[in-house]
Amino acid sequence: MHDRMHDHRKLGRELDLFDTDPLMGAGLPYWLPDGAAVRHALEEYVRGAERRAGYRHVYSPVLGKRELYEISGHWSHYSDDMFPPMDLGGEQVVLRPSLCPHHALIYRSRAHSYRELPLRMAELGGMYRSELSGVLGGLTRVRSIQLNDAHVFCTPDQAADEARAALELIREAYDALGIRPTRYRLSLPGAGGKYVADPAMWRRAADLLIEVLDASGVPYEAAEGEAAFYGPKIDVQVTDGAGREFTLSTVQIDFHQPEQFDLHYIGPDGAKHRPVMVHRSVIGSVERAVAHLIELHGGAFPAWLAPTQLMVLPISEAEVPQAAALVRRCVEQGLRAELAGPEHGTLGARVRAARLVPYQAVIGAREAADDRVALRLRDGRRLDAMSAAEALARIGAVVAARSGELWAAEVGA
């Protein structure tokens, strides 16, 4: 049975995270400030993890000429999922169905030596899919997608190691986010004309992925008809609140697009060689990832992801100035804090309204007089009053560590 409490569409509206408007269109959700705060924290996490793993980030436009997708192969293999082209001054431009062609052009724009490889190019960028309106809903089936994407340009010898490192990065991110993979899937081509016809290329790429999966020790199963049109992939499958399985993360080895874009690097022999492209996404689309995190946590996000991390609750009107000053200090320190004053009801009502906020700081006359706060944690714990500086420092430490715990054990106390 589907647990309504863990339906991200219901929670997303109740918690003011995102919504849609018929005038913007189906499958085109917008993000409210609280949802945008969660998304921003997630994106910053991913960018940081990628930087630590040796990726560098780029930005590229969401539009490209039709010709670009003819070269990449999207036009002949993927046009059913693409928006129709727009005529512009005698040219046709297309909302991009993926980021790979742009990244291939960025790679091609400069000469590369084998010494620069593997070259890891990442982008959290927009892409578009012409989903039918019948299957749209919430953040999981959208027409405008923000993809956590990257392409590693490497030598054929480096491809397996890069795919393995990408799987490891996915595992690290899942640990940090509390996401559990349901299973790993080796997605192979199926019958029909959806796939680039080059059996030797498919075999070579699939063998590399099998080598990676076997070495990683994770159990997996092969599935035909689930590959990308240009190559096989490892899909990390996750299950939503309704028990439906979907692909969150992928790792792909691609010999096709480097050929199509005539990419090369100069080898130690001074001659031109063809690089391999490893496509990988750690958290998939930001929309799907946030939808999953909403359902996973039932809206009670870990402190580092929570839209509001600290709710400041003055007991009476008299403590409002101190409470407002505390909120400003939090914001100065990079914490997301809000003030809920007596005009929002009794203290008990305000505590209940903020039940999903990780920390509540109650400020009465005594606390206001000596710059202290009495913290209540979301799990029901009430801490003894402490100095505001100590409270903010300790909350800041939990947030910076992206801990799943609300409060670190006392250090040296």
CA–CA dist 379, 398 (Å, integer): 15
328 contact partners, CB below 8 Å, separation of at least 6: none
We find the least distance from the C-beta atom of residue 97 to Zn ion, in angstroms, to be: 10
We find the least distance from the C-beta atom of residue 124 to Zn ion, in angstroms, to be: 13
In 359-387, which positions are buried (b, 16+ CB within 10 angstroms) versus exposed (e)?
bbbbbbeebbeeebbbbbbbeeeeeebee
In 112-147, which positions are buried (b, 16+ CB within 10 angstroms) versus exposed (e)?
beeeebbbbbbbbbbbbbeeeeeebbbbbbbbbbbb
Residue closer to Zn ion (CB basis): 100 or 251: 100
CA–CA dist 341, 323 (Å, integer): 9
Interface region with Zn ion, contact rule CB under 5 A, candidates 116-124, 202-210, 273-281, 307-315 = 273-281
- H helices then E strands: how many in the chain? 13, 20
We find the least distance from the C-beta atom of residue 34 to Zn ion, in angstroms, to be: 31
Question: Which residues 192-221 are close enough to bind Zn ion by CB under 5 A?
Answer: none
CA–CA dist 369, 321 (Å, integer): 11
CA–CA dist 333, 4 (Å, integer): 36
Contact 149, 285 (CB under 8 A): no
Residue closer to Zn ion (CB basis): 74 or 279: 279
Residue closer to Zn ion (CB basis): 149 or 319: 149
We find the least distance from the C-beta atom of residue 361 to Zn ion, in angstroms, to be: 45
CA–CA dist 39, 86 (Å, integer): 30
Residue closer to Zn ion (CB basis): 278 or 373: 278
Closest CA to 286 of 310, 305, 269: 305
Interface region with Zn ion, contact rule CB under 5 A, candidates 31-39, 40-48, 276-284, 334-342 = 276-284
Residue closer to Zn ion (CB basis): 8 or 279: 279
Would you count residue 145 as binding Zn ion (CB under 5 A)?
no
Binding mask 226-265 for Zn ion (x = CB under 5 A): ----------------------------------------
Would you count residue 278 as binding Zn ion (CB under 5 A)?
no
Interface region with Zn ion, contact rule CB under 5 A, candidates 27-35, 116-124, 272-280, 296-304 = 272-280
Would you count residue 279 as binding Zn ion (CB under 5 A)?
yes
We find the least distance from the C-beta atom of residue 256 to Zn ion, in angstroms, to be: 11
Q: Given candidates 17, 41, 68, 100, which one binds Zn ion under the rule CB under 5 A?
A: 100
What phi-psi label fits residue 31: left (phi over 0), alpha (psi between -120 and 50 degrees) or beta?
A: beta
Q: Residues touching Zn ion: how many (CB under 5 A)?
A: 2
What residue number has its CB nearest to Zn ion? 100
We find the least distance from the C-beta atom of residue 198 to Zn ion, in angstroms, to be: 18
We find the least distance from the C-beta atom of residue 126 to Zn ion, in angstroms, to be: 14
We find the least distance from the C-beta atom of residue 281 to Zn ion, in angstroms, to be: 8
The structure tokens 């005698």 sit at 90
Interface region with Zn ion, contact rule CB under 5 A, candidates 72-80, 177-185, 278-286, 325-333 = 278-286
Amino acid at 13: R
102 contact partners, CB below 8 Å, separation of at least 6: 60, 61, 64, 68, 96, 125
Q: Would the CA dihedral through 210, 214, 218, 223 be positive or negative? A: positive
We find the least distance from the C-beta atom of residue 206 to Zn ion, in angstroms, to be: 17
Closest CA to 389 of 408, 364, 370: 370
Mapping DSSP to helix (H, G, I), strand (E, B) and coil, where does residue 266 land? strand
Residue closer to Zn ion (CB basis): 31 or 153: 153
Question: Which residues 18-77 are close enough to bind Zn ion by CB under 5 A?
Answer: none
For binding to Zn ion (CB under 5 A), which residues are involved? 100, 279
